Amino acid sequence: MSAKRDYYEILGAKKNASLDEIKKLYRELALRFHPDRVPAEQKKEAEEKFKEISEAYAVLSDAQKRSLYDQYGHSGIDQKYAYEDIFKGADFSSVFHDLGDFGLGGGGFDEIFSDLGFDIFGGRGRGSGRARRGHDLEVAAQITLEEAAGGAEKIITLPRYDTCLTCGGTGAKPGSKKTTCPQCKGQGRTVVSNGFFQLAQTCSRCGGEGSIIQTPCPDCRGQGRVKETHKIKVKIPAGVDTGSQLRVRGEGESGAAGKGDLYVVIEVKPHEVFQRHNNDLVTEANISLSKAVLGGEIEVPTLDGHVTMKVPAGTQSGRIFRLKEKGVPDLHGRDSGDELVRVNVEIPSRLNAEQRRAMEEFSRASGEAADKNSFADNIKKAFK
């Protein structure tokens, strides 16, 4: 008989590893080497590996057993505990308390494996015929910037599976009944012993229902659901942005334990005038050379229509003005964003005789020599 491998080595853990680290390593290995997740030709090897890592976890996750193992090695454990007792008190349920790494909901050790079609240690799980809620659905919705800022109502056309009205979701033809599954005797699962634990697998004959349909419903063909198209009104709150998700409860697909939810993913279409940065809006406005020099008022667009904005004398091209709370409202009810207006000074490419005389006079008054060839260039440079 070959010597047992070191428990820390089996899990790939350091001697000073914390309990959380031990749990994380075991989670990864348990999913990787579970017999129902490997090809048939690797099943026997996976069963041995799974048994080995489970034994290592049962010891290292228990403070008392781990202390004995650290002091005396396998001999300390073998003398203190019988082999089958190693697993008594081992906190397998807490291993999968936080399943964020796997994208699954919270639950115990047996719950994660019931998602694979079986229960560990013969416990009752979801594969034993427990009714499930219908699937959640996701749909994309395009809206304008104005709708994102002011809120809107949208009608979404959604194809989905709903409970068959003919059979009421049973899948059986009206007037007929389901019969007890002869393979699992109505239990919805079959139990297979495998060494120190048992695998309770979902019944392949009835799919975990515990019953089978002899005469299927003609409309849903025994599925208990039919695909239909619905028009759903969705209220979009002010302040949403691209990537925002709206949850509409009870508008997903039907299941034996109720309907799932609908998730509407928002996409805000590009705008011709504005660019959005968080809750602020950015736009540009052109002003004349004279208005930049002398100051004045200009009309600028906002989501609520045009407003008058004052431009002070001596405004340089590229200067940014802020219009308070003319941006997008905050989705969570805080203050609205602002509108940022970048002004561009327009340099005339051609001057009539009167304009040229005035500019030449301005140039002389400024102490500049009005060069015939470089006059326009000097003006352009002044407003860069």
Q: Which domains does the chain have, with CATH numbers?
A: 7-116 (1.10.287.110), 137-268 (2.10.230.10), 272-346 (2.60.260.20), 348-384 (no CATH)
Split at pLDDT 50, 70, 90, the class of 195 is low
pLDDT per residue as tens digits for the range 232-248: 999 999 999 999 999 99
- Is pLDDT above 60 for 102? no
Neighbour count for residue 172 (Cβ, 10 Å): 22
Q: Output the average pLDDT for the chain.
A: 80
Split at pLDDT 50, 70, 90, the class of 123 is very low
pLDDT of residue 89: 52
pLDDT of residue 148: 95
Pair of tokens at residue 357: 């005389």
pLDDT per residue as tens digits for the range 282-312: 999 999 998 999 999 999 999 999 999 999 9
Split at pLDDT 50, 70, 90, the class of 130 is low
95-102 long-range contacts (CB < 8 A, ≥24 apart) are: 95/23, 95/26, 95/27, 95/30, 95/57, 95/61, 96/27, 101/24, 101/27, 102/27, 102/31
pLDDT of residue 121: 39
- Is pLDDT above 90 for 192? no
The Cα–Cα gap between 27 and 54 comes to 10
The Cα–Cα gap between 261 and 180 comes to 32
Of the chain, the percentage scoring pLDDT greater than 90 comes to 38
- Is pLDDT above 70 for 317? yes
11 versus 84: which is more confidently predicted?
A: 11
